[in-house]
Amino acid sequence: MKSLTEYLFFHTPKRRELVNITQKIADLVSKSEVREGLCLVSAMHITAGIWVNDDESGLKQDFLELLDRLAPEGDYRHHQTGEDNGDAHLKRTLVGHQTTFPITEGRLDLGPWEQIFYAEFDGRRQKRVVVKIIGE
């Protein structure tokens, strides 16, 4: 059994961003030398997630607008703690914090349009993603 653990670090200039990390993940799969296995990608902060979809600008904007409708900026009980990012926590909950991908014949086994995104909802500070690859 082979394994590889790597961390990706992000410091987005905007509060909310979608960062395509597909090639970085593919490069780590190659580096791992795993031919058949699994690749876990997990955002390690409670206001960021992992989103898998097409890298199409209209779709990305539609997605962010959907999240704004479901969890708009506003006054949340969480803000009574001195924070102002209640909406970011809820957006992360809706998106999910991690995803697992198959590795087949040494490559990420993604659908024809699937791309992997780091989804940031409360940026402007350093955060990280863990990538854990296991297999034969």
DSSP class per residue in 70-108: HS-SS--GGGGGT---HHHHHHHHHH-SEEEEEEETTEE
What is the band of 7 on the pLDDT scale with cuts at 50, 70, 90?
A: very high
Give residue for tokens 């955060």. 127
pTM, to two decimals:
0.95
10-45 pLDDT, tens digit per residue, is 999 999 999 999 999 999 999 999 999 999 999 999
Fold of 2-135: Jelly Rolls (2.60.120)
